[in-house]
Amino acid sequence: MILDVKHTNIAYRCPNCGSGVISAVGLFSLSADMVKLKCSSGKSEMTVLYGEDGKLRLTVPCLFCPNPHQFTLSSNVFFKQELFSLPCPYTGINTAVLGELNKVKAELARSELELLDLMEKSGVTDFSALHAAEAEALTDPQIDEIVTYVIKELDAEGKISCKCGAGDEREYDVEVRDDGILVKCRKCGASRLIPTDSRLSAYAFLNADELHLE
């Protein structure tokens, strides 16, 4: 009997210290339990849960969002892709990648450069300043302006989606609040808050090429 040995490599970036955390994951370790990847700083972890339905549920911390993101993948996607990215749904920047070891390592290196570039542009020098909860609130009116501009552009290009059908006429309200900019559909009420209380998350949003309201 030949065993179909399923394994892959998975990596995420710690929101607290910025290091890439990488680990091999096999089906055997998964079926036993939940797999946790932890940063050596002890301040973040990613979990992978193998469900009875054969699907994998991943909880991935995000550099830009206060809460981790959830992803559900089929085991075919999880184990058989050479490289698969799990982007933050609102900045488009990868929160986790999985696949062949060398490809995962290369992607970690690439995303690190992307991140350093983003930090430089936004004037952030320290990973500990990344998180909205810890960073001092920035009330830079320019950030609000830039984010509002990007939202208007996305709207003009038809790249904002909500619960309304694609062909429906919709209108989006944009409201500037202390903790961010709220985009809300007048018709279905779906909304999303773009945090602007961290300079970096605001700048990350500039990379967004679509916006989905929930």
Is 92 in contact with 208 (CB distance < 8 Å)?
yes
**Total binding residues toward Zn ion, as defined by CB under 5 A:** 15
60 lines the binding site for Zn ion (CB under 5 A): no
Dig out the tokens for 39 from the structure. Answer: 């940063």
Cα–Cα distance, 212 to 147 (Å, whole number)? 15
| Nearest residue (CB) to Zn ion, 82 versus 134 | 134
56 lines the binding site for Zn ion (CB under 5 A): no
CB of 190 to Zn ion, least distance (A): 5
46 lines the binding site for Zn ion (CB under 5 A): no
CB of 32 to Zn ion, least distance (A): 26
Binder among 108, 115, 118, 185 for Zn ion (CB under 5 A): 185
Name the DSSP class of 33: S
Binder among 16, 59, 111, 196 for Zn ion (CB under 5 A): 16
CA atoms within 13 A on the CB side of 147: 32
58 lines the binding site for Zn ion (CB under 5 A): no
CB of 168 to Zn ion, least distance (A): 7
**Phi, psi of 161, rounded to the nearest 5 degrees:** -125, 155
Is 179 in contact with 197 (CB distance < 8 Å)?
yes
CB of 6 to Zn ion, least distance (A): 28
Bridge partners of residue 46, in order along the sequence: 37
Cα–Cα distance, 108 to 174 (Å, whole number)? 35
17 lines the binding site for Zn ion (CB under 5 A): yes
| Nearest residue (CB) to Zn ion, 4 versus 214 | 214
Give every CB contact of residue 110 below 8 A, 6+ residues apart in sequence. none
Where does this chain bind Zn ion (CB under 5 A)?
A: 14, 16-17, 39, 41, 62, 64-65, 88, 162, 164, 170, 185, 187-188
